[in-house]
Amino acid sequence: MSAFATLASVYNTPVAMHGDVDSTDSNTTTGSRALNQFLASVELKAFKIAQSALRHEHDALDAVQDAMLQLTRAYADRPAEEWRPLFYRILENRIRDMQRRRTVRARIMAWLPAHRDEEDEEAFDPITQAPSEELAPPRRLELDEAMTALEKALHDLPNRQRQAFLLRNLEGMDVAQVAAAMGCSEGSVKTHHFRAVKALRARLGEFST
C-alpha cells in the first residue's frame, strides 16, 4: 500500500483506500495522462505552425485550442501513435477554415472603405510587435532578424509547402507521418518539401545562425 501510495502521489492520482482499484478509472486516468503528455509535447510547435500560417496570435491560439478539443473529443480512444498526424491534420483544417473566413471577411469589408479592422490593427500593432527595451547583444539581434525573415518567408509560402516544411523541419516528422497528416501521398510530401526548401533558400540565401 505504501509503495502504491508513493507512486500515486507522483502521478497525482487519487489513492484507493480500500485496496480495490477500479480498472476502468485506472485506464481512464492512464489514457488522460498519455493524452496530456502528447498535447503538452505538441502545443508549442503547433502554436508556432498556426502562427506562421495565420500571423495572428489570437487566431493561432484558437486554432490550437480547437484542434486539441477535436482530437480529445473524437480520437482520444485511438492508438497514441495516430494522435500526432491526426492532430496536425485537424489543425491544418482549422487554419484553412480561418484563412477562408478571413478572405470572405476581407471581401465584405472591401465594400466599406471607412472600416478599419480592429483585429488586423492588433495583429500588426507596432508597439506590441516591437522588441523589448532590454538591450540585446548583437548575437541576439542577428537571431531576431534571421527569425523574423524566416517567419515572413514561411508565411509567404503556399499552404501545402509551408505545412510540409514545418511538419518535417520543426515537428521532426518523417515523410510517412507528414503524408498522413496532410492527407496526401509521400511523393507529394517530398515535392512540397523540396519546393519549400528551394523557395526559402532563394528568399533567404545561405544565412548563418
Per CB under 8 A, residues contacting other proteins are 28, 32, 35-36, 39-40, 43-45, 47-48, 57, 61, 64-65, 68-69, 71-73, 76, 143, 146-147, 150-151, 166, 168-170, 172-174, 176-177, 197, 200-201, 206-209
Euclidean distance between CA atoms 62 and 60, whole angstroms: 5
Q: Nearest CA to 163 among 71, 99, 77, 70?
A: 99
CB of 108 to other proteins, least distance (A): 29
Closest separation in Å from C-beta 135 to other proteins: 17
Q: Which is nearer to other proteins, 101 or 201 (CB)?
A: 201
CB of 36 to other proteins, least distance (A): 6
Rounded to a whole number of angstroms, the minimum distance from the CB of residue 172 to other proteins is 4
Q: Which of 68, 59, 72, 83 is nearest to 28 (CA)?
A: 72
Helix (H, G, I), strand (E, B) or coil at 45: helix
Using alpha carbons, list the distances in angstroms from residue 100 to 96, 120, 183: 6, 15, 19
Closest C-alpha to 102, from 60, 74, 162: 60
Residue 55 CB, nearest distance to other proteins (Å)? 14
Minimum CB distance to other proteins smaller for 160 or for 167: 167
User: d(Cα 37, Cα 11) in Å, to the nearest integer?
Assistant: 12
Determine the length of the chain: 209
φ/ψ of residue 111, rounded to 5: -80, -15
